[in-house]
Structure 1
């Protein structure tokens, strides 16, 4: 087999590599595991826990070369499923229907089969399977093309900016200092190699070029093999118990009722098996007072309470009876309280929800407060907080930041006049990214008496800088921070098989650990502890007839929920990548807890900084094969301890 190789630094210079020396790479005979997102993008291959990262996508480039559509989160409506070693994603871009099967195929190797069905004649530049290699790991890499003569190489692909290879090859290899990625084909295929705008290397494999015709069925199969160094360097953790931060009350949960047949079993199981520190329930406002001029309290006292309102109230009462503080949130409003016909889906322009009708402000305040007063009179408790759900976005009540500020002052003053102690959530935003929504209220001292906590939802915006803005806001306002909806993919209900994947479970608990470390919330409220996004499997949920049982996500939550109540965030430094860590403690009680997520291979850990009086840490682990198993306790001497952190796992350490 003849080969051609090119150095990618500078990327236009070519050279011939006579032999590839692989002695620097760790030999790994463990079975590969592909990390596949439910929209189809492969984000890497694991071996012995080590993730060799890259990202694939399916891309359609228009005939003029300017319009490009690619598979990505929340861009299509994919369906995800697993059958044994196969992960299958079915999705659509315009009139092209894709089916992609990713199969684990041995040591560091996966097989990818892509089928494309065209539903109409379309002129286009091409349909491509694309692999993007991160510049941080592959900037200095060399390129090797299998079955290519050097003099047949084209130095560019017409219409592809920054391209420097366009040729048919039986395989492509990228070799960097600590990584190697090899892509192989059953027969020679056209390959295009380029750099994107930030310097990432990209391999484009055409599935179709120039045009497709209605009824065309295109199939392509390729293999991807990843190798490289496995990071087994010891990890040093240092806890600083001298700087306690905000209190963590514990894991919370959302209990918005949506599935009458399957919700009760999940709620019962969750409340029986988790320590739930905070709860959030719905106020079905549009069913509480559908008509402005009819008194909802009188109707309720006369036995005319809407059944859904009754069940929602009973849910709130159940939480309160267990000593769980309750947040009351309204998703939608009665027609008389909003501008325009109610919208529960976005407009073609992408606008969600309805604004409040501010000519009805007094009636709006009264209606909400009557609900809270009825709960108090009927069930003997008062909710701790009130919010409109995701009003920054409009799910389904939409406010501006200024309107949010004015609503807090208006409703807050009205509640105080009625003798209520209920406070308002500042924000309860759809995502971490929309933090500017809370600034008008933060800048107005008149809102301060009525704000009980700041809240955001963790669906998007996970970078450290964005998360820190929420921590800073809570510090500035001197109120608790609540993650009102905790999880990682707002569209996951469309492809619920993903809930059973280790990839999803690990990413979710990894985010929670980072939230604990950066944001220091009083609680993270799981979305949900009902059948919606359920951490339990079976019981008829999502059509699964298996007996109801916990999955890895539930065990992660249970392990987190065992954190002793009322500990305070403490700085915990980590000197190696791939480890997320958070620490909490109470110096007066001598109780400490560490939450550790290992995103890589097995590591030895050296922990220092604990008080000398701590002699032992209980050790719990959850991963794909282990469900919150308590292992042998970790011995502590003079504030230091050594222990092992298994690959791809979530570990909790709690002082005895």
Structure 2
């Protein structure tokens, strides 16, 4: 059988820079550029398989990749159909990185395999193409040829590809107006066990944006209150959860907590009486641990959300599912013939927690029922459940309310509309809730802010983070890029949505903000990561400050502000996603004379820097490259 070794070498450099490059390799295998001194030189690579339309490509939540740091490089292993890929990326000095990819066919395939470089129209829309054997010309779709060197020159950016040997290439333009360069790794038949090869070098250069940043704040324009940061405490790892929970609760101010109701272990049979077993001390260990977790959070003074993931078999239609069907359908609908038993079972749990653990559950929800993790509802069924469950709890004298939504992400906002428009459901709703895994555009996030404003209820981001699949490649939690993108999203959520709390998924060993201690197999000493320090910094603001209107004139400087005009307390969060630049903040109250400056980045953990002086409501400071900075004034 013919075996061809695939070696893909990618070296990127930026002129006139002396700092080590930072290649931004996503855990699914796409390089989206290189940072030099904090400035991202954007482009995106991907591995693509198929015919003319290239319907299969590496991308977020498209495959089940693995990611790790190994032998000085970043390694991604993934698969597209019957092709296995292994990609290794190593930073190689000033503006450079090396990438090796090996592709192996698990079965015979005749699909084309390509290395694709996508050039953003923002920078390369009017680029000039220079390739061996072709005169320089403006980049357009349809250009094709054979070359050993392909270059793109544009104002502020350049990208050159050096191939180890002349190769065919072609250029297409996608629906977003971006140009795509296709380089074949293999075309035609590839036998089972066969591999294919391509090696190349990429050279990029560009000008960093170090222009002045202007921030304007309106301290008298107060919005909804931010109670503070929160956390999820769904217990799943008995050996490693306790140490993470202890560290987070002892070292971070938390305003909200969310725990699991292990419903399928609480009442296994419909005819059973779970209260009798509970009173007899026969709680399932998982139920007992969950109740004790709720008790611990309650004793710390935070409101507790109770969410059910997995139902008992009697409460749903069909065999309970914990994974999607081949058609992609998740979860099971509730059995409408058992609704009274369902209300009673959940009510019994909440009552027992109150009476025996001293915790009045603030809110109840089914986790992500819009999707079916693991109970699936329509918007109309969700509204009906809120009415039925809410009335049942009220009749029992329990103050617990229902979360409206608790959606799997922000995109499915229409799920909450039936209950929003049902006057009979409104008295039982305690807060509006969604999870932040997807749907980050401002228009979508504003839908949730508007819903909370319309109902005059708090908005909760009950699960906060950025990649639901990251549990499958947990070493990504240690990456600076992941930490920055997570806090960048939270800053945007504070500014756009004005939530009462963002609850981290999770503050346990699952999706851990800690490293070591046996977590994900890391036997080194337990220690906080950059993500932990970001969250601690976010949580350090005084409780109850209100959202303030604030704007930044730079897209890559994300900002949110909180304050209390009467108390004279103000907090400003800034995430600089680019190079070091000077920043001017205007609109501060005249009686503010100084701002405490706290910075977290790859090397600093909530480090207090020199205070920023405020004169006549105006402050100047320098934002370091790729930093998270919090300013505090009293």
TM normalised by structure 1 equals 0.93
Q: How does 1:406-445 map to 2 (within 5 A)?
A: 406-445=384-423
Instruction: Determine the structure 1 residue equivalent to 2:58.
Output: 71
- Point out the more displaced range, 46-55 or 390-399: 46-55
Pairwise CA distance, 1:187: 2.1
Q: How does 1:389-400 map to 2 (within 5 A)?
A: 389-400=367-378
* Alignment of 1:36 onto 2:25: yes
Deviation readout 1:546-601 (Å, 9 max, x if unpaired):
11101110110111110111100001111122100000000110000001000000
Instruction: Determine the structure 2 residue equivalent to 1:133.
Output: 119
Structure 1 contact 59–71 (Cα < 8 Å) conserved: yes
Partners of 2:523 and 2:63 lie apart in 1 by: 28
Structure 1 contact 251–523 (Cα < 8 Å) conserved: yes
Pairwise CA distance, 1:67: 5.8
Structure 1 contact 113–219 (Cα < 8 Å) conserved: no
Pairwise CA distance, 1:221: 2.4
Instruction: Determine the structure 2 residue equivalent to 1:638.
Output: 616
- The alignment covers a number of residue pairs equal to 621
Partners of 2:15 and 2:28 lie apart in 1 by: 31
Partners of 2:299 and 2:275 lie apart in 1 by: 23
Unpaired runs of 5+ residues, structure 1, are: 1-24, 157-161
Aligned equivalent of 1:51, options 28, 36, 40: 40
Q: How does 1:103-502 map to 2 (within 5 A)?
A: 103-124=90-111, 126-145=112-131, 147-150=132-135, 163-502=141-480
Pairwise CA distance, 1:66: 4.7
Instruction: Determine the structure 1 residue equivalent to 2:518.
Output: 540
Pairwise CA distance, 1:84: 5.6
Structure 1 contact 109–223 (Cα < 8 Å) conserved: no
Pairwise CA distance, 1:85: 4.5
**Does the residue aligned with 1:365 lie in a helix, a strand or coil?**
helix
Deviation readout 1:466-496 (Å, 9 max, x if unpaired):
0010000000111000000000000001001
| Cα root mean square deviation, aligned | 1.6
**Does the residue aligned with 1:446 lie in a helix, a strand or coil?**
coil
Instruction: Determine the structure 2 residue equivalent to 1:90.
Output: 77
Partners of 1:272 and 1:600 lie apart in 2 by: 33
Pairwise CA distance, 1:38: 0.2
Pairwise CA distance, 1:222: 1.9
Structure 1 contact 610–639 (Cα < 8 Å) conserved: yes
Structure 2 contact 244–507 (Cα < 8 Å) conserved: yes
Pairwise CA distance, 1:361: 0.9
Partners of 2:285 and 2:46 lie apart in 1 by: 47
Partners of 1:184 and 1:346 lie apart in 2 by: 44
Pairwise CA distance, 1:119: 1.8
Structure 1 contact 111–222 (Cα < 8 Å) conserved: no
Partners of 1:122 and 1:549 lie apart in 2 by: 46
Partners of 2:143 and 2:97 lie apart in 1 by: 24
TM normalised by structure 2 equals 0.96
Pairwise CA distance, 1:27: 2.4
Pairwise CA distance, 1:227: 1.1
Structure 1 contact 58–128 (Cα < 8 Å) conserved: yes
Pairwise CA distance, 1:170: 1.6
Pairwise CA distance, 1:59: 0.2
Structure 2 contact 141–179 (Cα < 8 Å) conserved: no
Partners of 1:113 and 1:131 lie apart in 2 by: 16
Partners of 1:277 and 1:309 lie apart in 2 by: 24
Structure 1 contact 594–653 (Cα < 8 Å) conserved: yes
* Alignment of 1:606 onto 2:584: yes
- Point out the more displaced range, 215-224 or 584-593: 215-224
Q: How does 1:534-613 map to 2 (within 5 A)?
A: 534-613=512-591
Partners of 1:639 and 1:68 lie apart in 2 by: 54
